[in-house]
Structure 1
Amino acid sequence: MIIGMSLAILAGSLVGLQNIFNSKMNERLGGWATTAYVLGFGFLASLILGFLFEGKQLFDLSNMKTWYGFSGMIGVAVVFCVVQGIKRIGPTYAISIVLASQLALALIWDSLGLFGLDKVPFTPRKGIGVMVIIAGLVVFKLSGKDSKTKT
């Protein structure tokens, strides 16, 4: 459990760093070029590391449903939308909204057992937890301290 939590913290830190870099790249290249570069470099890194750690098994897709491969297209939308969100409302507010919506939808998907997930019972505490996060976003936005917010 400690390793899983540590990896999740590291992932969150890396996503935050990536978003800074993506935002700076977007200032010079625009949204679609940034998305292409980010995902292109990510593809190369994944390919190289995949060969190093998995060898030929990297391309064994025999146990995968074809539609799972569409996650790459979802990645395009994710990178583009996050970069544009940061450009328009600033990094802190944009990423906060991304995380809150990610948590809310994960709760729904888990509770309904969608996309092949094990069904996890919905509890009022889980719902309240998501609502507290959303309320925190409203308080954050209404605090007036977000002076860098753009339209």
Structure 2
Amino acid sequence: MIGIFIALLSGALMSVQGVFNTGVTKSTSMWVSNSWVQFSALIICLVTWFFTDRKSFAGILQVEPKYMLFGGVIGALITYTVIKSMAALGPAQAVMLIVVSQLIVAYIIEVFGIFGVDKQPFEWRRLLGMAVCIGGIILFKWE
């Protein structure tokens, strides 16, 4: 149950963050806004680290495979694409497309066992669920 609550909170925070970041971009620029987002996240992470686990940063050198360290690069690209999509489509439509894209890519990763994720069997009902989500977007956009 806690996992469901955390996932719902994550989705809500992502939507609010996207609106905030788009607003900051209106007063600055894309890359100033993106830099601020990443910098402020770094500060929060360092402060939280200081008051919680204080494990050595040297552990980062032990990460295998090394491509896993590109999460921050992907984070910057996520911030960029969320800002651009929200500015172009509005928050509701942008988030719907973002979530469906996340769902499809996550399912592909699971089914094929990409990036070291445990491989899961293909299930038609999950594909049908994604189709229903896509149908919902079409219905939402229908004028």
The two structures share one fold, judged by TM-score above 0.5:
yes
The whole-number CA distance in structure 2 between the counterparts of 1:47 and 1:30 is 26
Stretches of structure 1 that go unaligned for 5 or more consecutive residues are 145-151
TM-score (norm 2): 0.93
The whole-number CA distance in structure 2 between the counterparts of 1:133 and 1:45 is 34
TM-score (norm 1): 0.89
- The reply to whether residue 77 of structure 1 matches residue 49 of structure 2 is no
- 2:59 aligned partner: 60
The residue type equivalent to 2:78 in the other structure is V
The residue type equivalent to 1:23 in the other structure is T
* 1:21-61 deviation line (CA, Å, top 9, x unaligned): 11111111121111111011001111111222111335422
- 2:106 aligned partner: 106
Stretches of structure 2 that go unaligned for 5 or more consecutive residues are none
- 1:93 aligned partner: 93
Cα offset, 1:9, TM superposition: 1.2
* 1:86-108 deviation line (CA, Å, top 9, x unaligned): 11111110111000000011001
The alignment's C-alpha RMSD in Å is 1.3
After TM superposition, list the pairs within 5 Å mapping 1:2-151 onto structure 2.
Answer: 2-65=1-64, 66-142=66-142, 144=143
Cα offset, 1:15, TM superposition: 1.1
- Runs of 4+ displaced beyond 4 Å: none
The whole-number CA distance in structure 1 between the counterparts of 2:12 and 2:89 is 20
The whole-number CA distance in structure 1 between the counterparts of 2:49 and 2:27 is 31
Identity score, percent: 29
